[in-house]
Amino acid sequence: MPGGVSSPVRAFRSVGGQPIVFDRVKGAYAWDVDGNRFIDYIGSWGPAICGHAHPEVIAALQEALEKGTSFGAPCELENQLAEMVIDAVPSVEMVRFVNSGTEACMSVLRLMRAYTGRDKLIKFEGCYHGHADMFLVKAGSGVATLGLPDSPGVPRSTTSNTLTAPYNDLEAVKELFAENPDAISGVILEPIVGNAGFITPEPGFLEGLRELTQEHGALLVFDEVMSGFRVSYGGAQARFGVTPDLTTMGKVIGGGLPVGAYGGKAEIMEMVAPAGPMYQAGTLSGNPLAMTAGIKTLEVLKQEGTYERLETTTQRLIGGIIEAAKEAEVPITGSSIGAMFGFFFCEGPVRNFEDAKAANTELFGKMHRAMLERGIYLAPSAFEAGFTSLAHSEADIEATLQAFRDSFAAVS
């Protein structure tokens, strides 16, 4: 396999050493093939919000397996999960299930263009919307981790209609609209950036984008593949009170199985085939196993006090990390929202991808190796958010903070 992995960000190229090879996961823990246990803050890159191999999810999957792994036809489970998504996410009146976040974002871009009759779009530097050609312009995630400005194999003609602006910079967006009158189909962004490290929207930024897109007849799209059902049950849009026209989702809504979705206003979604002329299809879309895992995961998340517990756990973690760094006299800035967190080894604040790139990535690599030695598994990249789960206990958090204190001492 290229680089020994099936997805670039799993490699340890930016932090040094070879990737850990997992054997099994359960709750807040992961075990490698040598039997070493790690407290896991990746959670399969976000889906494991209830904890790995949650017993209710596993039981539901075992029952679903007896009925078959794929139908290639409509199933009732699709309707159940669709209703749950529509009830939870403010912008979604209709939803289409796909197989990955990349598929969701690729499809929503086609829909933006079909609905508006315009070809151009605006994305933000460091925001990652999957690996489709038109999004690999100043992208985050593995593109940022590996230091790739774009990707060979992507024709210039494919990205010629992709305009970019710095995150948290409304004036730059205004200029792009002014320079491209009646040509921009919409604006797509991670409402909370998780693929350039953890970066939050400044007050008024999301509201300003909502006003600008409405003023120019363009669509506003939130990529909530990462933040959806993680920072609140209704996603970042419910948390911040800003409703986009369209939303992409994934990760949590599949409960750890491959899934993606896009949805929004009914009048826009009715453009999608077979209701309308915009074509998009998928052999395994709405797969009964993914739908089952998603339904059971959302049922667990709807239980009283779930998000309060996640918020408290995550705040305690990031607060302790910052305190440990300051005690070690290491420059740091960090924060959390819901069950997402992140930090940068710099004075801060970090408003956008350019600020993030100025952080001390060499120190992050040293800390990553030191934390691994102490049984803590963090994302092997300074440009990825971290995730907590309902399975992380107070003892797990304290053990993690002690590992940070010891690691800061070891690398200073």
Identify residue 355 by its one-letter amino acid code: D
Q: Which residue has the tokens 């710099």?
A: 346
- Contacts of residue 265, defined as CB under 8 A and 6 or more positions apart, other chains included, come to 91, 93, 94, 245, 246
Identify residue 198 by its one-letter amino acid code: F
118, 124, 129, 130: CA torsion to nearest 10: 100
User: Is the bond leading into 331 cis (omega within 30 degrees of zero)?
Assistant: no
Please identify which of the residues 223, 245, 355, 396 carries the catalytic annotation.
223
Burial bucket for residue 411 (CB in 10 Å: 0-12, 13-18, 19+) = middle
**Cβ contact 240:208 at 8 Å:** no
Q: How far apart are CA 89 and CA 237, in angstroms?
A: 8
Q: How far apart are CA 269 and CA 245, in angstroms?
A: 10
CA atoms within 13 A on the CB side of 196: 28
Determine which helix (DSSP H) or strand (DSSP E) holds 313, and give its type and residue range: helix 306-327
Tell me how long the chain is.
412
Q: How far apart are CA 224 and CA 341, in angstroms?
A: 15
Q: Which residue has the tokens 């230091």?
A: 147
23 is an active site residue: no
CA 44 to chain centroid, in Å, comes to: 11
Residue 96 has phi, psi (to 5 degrees) of: -125, 125
**Cβ contact 134:156 at 8 Å:** no
Identify residue 169 by its one-letter amino acid code: D
CB atoms within 10 A of CB 275: 12
**Cβ contact 245:264 at 8 Å:** yes
Euclidean distance between the first and final Cα of the chain, in Å? 36
262 is an active site residue: no
223 is an active site residue: yes
Please identify which of the residues 128, 167, 262, 307 carries the catalytic annotation.
128
358, 195, 124, 298: CA torsion to nearest 10: -150
Please identify which of the residues 123, 138, 251, 296 carries the catalytic annotation.
251
Question: Considering only CA atoms, which of 154, 178, 180, 161 is closest in space to residue 123?
Answer: 161
As annotated, the active-site residues are 128, 223, 251
